[in-house]
A = this chain, B = another copy of it.
Amino acid sequence: MKKQIPIPSIERLSSIYMMLEEMEAEGVEKVSSKEIAARIGAQSHNVRKDINYFGEIGNARAGYETKKLKAHLSAKLGFNKPKKACVVGIGRLGAAILFYNRLAARGFSVVAGFDSNVNKLETLQTEIPLFPAHEITEVVRRKGIELAALAVPAAAAQEAVAKLIEGGIKGIVNFTPFVIMPPQGVFIRNMDLVGEFRVLSALSNIIF
């Protein structure tokens, strides 16, 4: 299937969805494209176009109904059913992710952690089952895990990625600086802190 919705739109739609969660919690019943745009830092045209990729849903007079729009996006974006996730590499960062409870609250249940250091697995106190790294493929496949946070040292990244992909992972958030070349159907989001710091440095160096 070919790409129809631009990736920037998908990113904005995720933000919009988050906004709607907040607004629902605040008890807001109606919302306009302008209000959404102001909250997520975009243009109202943009918001309307993004929402419209999934068909008409708003009311010309009154904007969007918070609840209805949220349910609509949830269905279209696939946020309605909880997804299983795992953490690979239980160092400081990996542990922080493992215990990050906003994930579960937002529909991502972390059902496994992996580390190559077996001692570490034994000493950690957690409800989440932990496994040695060589079991990645098998566990991911057996549990039907779709998403992974990769927080291993750079040197271990390549092998871990190969195992995740072999197990049928669908998406990886990559905290390492290692560049992943995913096969068709596997998506990557890079979150390398040094890289981000460098982009910020370069921006303030070049633009000012």
Query: Which B residues are CB-close (under 8 A) to A115?
Result: none
Q: A78-B205, A205-B77 are in contact. Are A197 and B179 (CB under 8 A)?
A: no
Extra contacts besides A103-B197, A146-B201 (5): CB < 8 Å: A5-B206, A18-B198, A92-B95, A92-B100, A187-B204
Listed by A's residue number, 10 A-B pairs whose Cβ atoms lie within 8 Å are A15-B195, A17-B198, A18-B177, A76-B206, A79-B202, A92-B92, A102-B194, A108-B194, A170-B200, A187-B203
Task: Give the nearest-CB partner of A11 in chain B.
Answer: B199
Q: Which 5 A-B pairs have the closest CB atoms?
A: A171-B200, A78-B205, A92-B96, A77-B202, A93-B96
Mark contacts of A113-136 with chain B using CB atoms, 8 A cut-off: 1 yes-contact digit, 0 otherwise: 000000000000000000000000
